[in-house]
Chain A
Amino acid sequence: DAGVTQSPTHLIKTRGQQVTLRCSPKSGHDTVSWYQQALGQGPQFIFQYYEEEERQRGNFPDRFSGHQFPNYSSELNVNALLLGDSALYLCASKGTGGVTYEQYFGPGTRLTVT
């Protein structure tokens, strides 16, 4: 049973560029959330997708956008990259059937903006 997978593992971009990160949820999961984890900090919620719609959003600017596909996989897009966007980007998935509130995290994408 494959867990949450993310690609790419590492990414280096220049300030002002755009980036797309990808996530495939754990088998049987239909809800995907994205988190940003800066060095030495806990993960911060960016947004959550369910049924191909953004359901909740954290305090992140519109430069951060996302998408969920019919197979439940998801993308995170960040436009006009800033140095402060350098972080580990984590994807988490969960199911909606029954009382299953645990979220399972992927290995993350390490984004470095220079």
Chain B
Amino acid sequence: EDKVVQSPLSLVVHEGDTVTLNCSYEVTNFRSLLWYKQEKKAPTFLFMLTSSGIEKKSGRLSSILDKKELFSILNITATQTGDSAVYLCAVAPNSGGSNYKLTFGKGTLLTVNP
């Protein structure tokens, strides 16, 4: 069964700090790893990673995947209070066709204090 473990489960930082969120996974026939930000209800898409060693960047957020060691990290630099949210990591297996089941971790609750 596919498995995703995120750490830490919660984190409290001050504005301006840099944070690193971790995601390790076990999946049969890996297709992609995705990061989502969940503030109130709907998880919003951040990144999709399919290849090792290629960093994806969006503003102050960046992410990289290591397919050999089966983990990914999400970095947030110069954190702001608006970054406070649950960050979810999910993996998708390559099960063929249109099948696309995501397995999520429990998430990391990030709190950024002013």
Q: Is the interface of A mostly helix, strand, loop or mixed?
A: strand
Asked, given contacts A88-B41, A101-B31, A105-B42, whether A42 binds B99 with beta carbons under 8 Å apart, the answer is no
Q: How many residues of B contact A (CB 8 A)?
A: 27
Is residue A41 within 8 Å, beta carbon to beta carbon, of the partner chain?
Answer: yes
Contact A55 B99 (CB under 8 A): yes
Is residue B74 within 8 Å, beta carbon to beta carbon, of the partner chain?
Answer: no
Partner of A106, one of B36, B42, B102: B42
Contact A56 B99 (CB under 8 A): yes
Contacts of A33 in B (CB 8 A): 100-102
Is residue B81 within 8 Å, beta carbon to beta carbon, of the partner chain?
Answer: no
Contact A42 B105 (CB under 8 A): yes
Contacts of A45 in B (CB 8 A): 101-103
Q: Which of B4, B40, B98, B103 is the most central at the interface, judged by chain A CB atoms within 10 Å of its CB?
A: B98
Is residue B52 within 8 Å, beta carbon to beta carbon, of the partner chain?
Answer: no
The contact sample of 7 A-B pairs, CB cut-off 8 A, is A35-B104, A40-B106, A48-B101, A101-B32, A103-B34, A105-B42, A107-B40
